[in-house]
Amino acid sequence: MTQRVHLDSASGLPLHPVAREALLAALEDGWADPARLYTSGRKARQLLDGARESVAAALGARPDEVTFTPNGTTALYGGIRGTAAGRARVGRHVVHSAVEHSAVLHAAAELDPTSVPVDQVGRVSPDAFAAALRDDTALACLIAASHEVGTVQPVAEVAARCTARGVPLLVDAAQVVGRMPVPDGWSVLTASAHKWGGPGGVGVLAVRTGVRFRSAWPEDEHELGRSPGSVALPAVVAAAAALRASRADSAAEDTRLRALVDRIRASVAQIPDVEVVGDPVARLPHLVTFSCLYVDGEQLVRALDAEGFEVTSGSSCTSSTLTPSHVLVAMGVLTHGNVRVSLSRTTTEEDVDRFLTVLPGVVARLRDEAGATGL
């Protein structure tokens, strides 16, 4: 049987070993309601407080600015709705880049959105972003680094321009937390534990003190009134442990994964008519995207799966809506034959070498089958 190699860490990572230990311990000690005054409740409260302090430190935030949500998407929805509601008197206008996560586009669609275009590597211009801000702009949203092509956005420059106009900036930091330093200047920040090696079902919503915010839900006594109901405490504890562990060796992992991605970028570019997209340098350490001319993206994902490699694609045939990735479209790059490879701490050099050995033959075979050889 072929050994399976998961190359889609940007969708979700296997649980970090440290998180597994923390999860089991928290199932023992963190089952009680942290709001209760008896001993078990106080024990649970200590675990929750510790997790919050730990995550806050990783984000450069104060613990009372950080709330846990059921997942990254609810953090984004809650963050956008809450900031917009807090500034409802200013207006309903929201500015975002054309390459945000689809959750941002969905939440912005409830308001009055302006999408700022990106260049061919997928980066917004801070000046173009600033020019889109208006007197009725309630908030702006910018992804810290693209989950689809890896390009890092000029968050600090955009944040400075938003501050100058008094507009709060929501930064979607899902792909950078635990991997890279969190950029400065955010008013609201969101993340997802599943992307840093924590369990699924934990999102993070951080709101800077002083930012006007009104919860999207009826306000209750949980999570500063910003995310309703109790958190999944054992999962939150495991998420915080995974984040501490990821940050402890993030510099070494950054160096290791960057070198592997550089190797993939160089090798894939040698395959005829394959275009590597996204910024080659100012990028996430672990992610690379390329498009193979004349190849069907779904066939490519399935053929690689049959060879033991699990990758994803932004091609229309692989999406539930049958539309191509809005990120690739915004960049003006080829959307068919698209593959996103994202590495993790479990990815070895041998995995990458094997992938690079297999890929050219798969691309050539699919082109041949499509009658597209020699075009």
Partner 1 sequence: MKVLDCLGKPCPVPVIELAKALPTVAVGEVLEVLSDDPAAAADIPAWCRMRGQTYEGADGPSYRVRRAS
Residue 289 Cβ, how far from partner 1 at the closest point, in Å? Answer: 14
Residue 247 Cβ, how far from partner 1 at the closest point, in Å? Answer: 38
Among 154, 294, 307, 356, binds partner 1 (CB under 8 A): 294
Residue 297 Cβ, how far from partner 1 at the closest point, in Å? Answer: 9
Query: Does 70 participate in binding partner 1 (rule CB under 8 A)?
Result: no
Nearer to partner 1, 317 or 358 (CB): 317
In our burial notation (b when 16+ CB lie closer than 10 A, e otherwise), range 291-306 reads bbbbbbbbbbbebbee
Among 337, 347, 352, 362, binds partner 1 (CB under 8 A): 337
Nearer to partner 1, 254 or 298 (CB): 298
Query: Does 119 participate in binding partner 1 (rule CB under 8 A)?
Result: no
Residue 375 Cβ, how far from partner 1 at the closest point, in Å? Answer: 4
Region of 78-86, 132-140, 179-187, 317-325 interacting with partner 1 (CB under 8 A): 317-325
Nearer to partner 1, 218 or 371 (CB): 371
Among 21, 29, 273, 307, binds partner 1 (CB under 8 A): 273
How many whole angstroms separate alpha carbon 329 and alpha carbon 256?
31
Q: Closest Cα partner for 14 from 226, 283, 202, 199?
A: 199
Q: Which of residues 355-374 bind partner 1 (CB under 8 A)?
A: 370-372
Query: Does 78 participate in binding partner 1 (rule CB under 8 A)?
Result: no
How many whole angstroms separate alpha carbon 217 and alpha carbon 231?
15
Nearer to partner 1, 37 or 375 (CB): 375
Instruction: Please tell me which residue in 141, 162, 292, 317 is annotated as part of the active site.
Output: 317
The answer to whether the CB of 268 falls within 8 A of the CB of 290 is yes
Query: Does 335 participate in binding partner 1 (rule CB under 8 A)?
Result: yes
Torsion 46-47-52-58 (CA) sign: positive
The answer to whether the CB of 194 falls within 8 A of the CB of 72 is yes
How many whole angstroms separate alpha carbon 364 and alpha carbon 173?
37
Q: Closest Cα partner for 339 from 290, 274, 269, 299?
A: 290
Q: Closest Cα partner for 113 from 128, 92, 99?
A: 92
Among 25, 317, 358, 364, binds partner 1 (CB under 8 A): 317
Query: Does 268 participate in binding partner 1 (rule CB under 8 A)?
Result: no
Query: Does 312 participate in binding partner 1 (rule CB under 8 A)?
Result: no
317 labelled catalytic: yes
Among 67, 316, 318, 342, binds partner 1 (CB under 8 A): 316
In our burial notation (b when 16+ CB lie closer than 10 A, e otherwise), range 308-321 reads bbebbbbbbbbbee
Query: Does 270 participate in binding partner 1 (rule CB under 8 A)?
Result: no
What DSSP letter does each residue of 52-83 carry, written as one string? HHHHHHHHT--GGGEEEESSHHHHHHHHHHHH
Nearer to partner 1, 95 or 327 (CB): 327
3-state secondary structure of 15: coil
What DSSP letter does each residue of 185-253 carry, written as one string? --SEEEEEGGGTTS-SS-EEEEE-TT-----SS---SSGGGTS-S---HHHHHHHHHHHHHHHHTHHHH
Residue 134 Cβ, how far from partner 1 at the closest point, in Å? Answer: 29
Per CB under 8 A, residues contacting partner 1 are 273, 275, 293-296, 315-317, 322-324, 328-329, 332-337, 370-372, 375
Q: What are the residue numbers of the active site?
A: 317
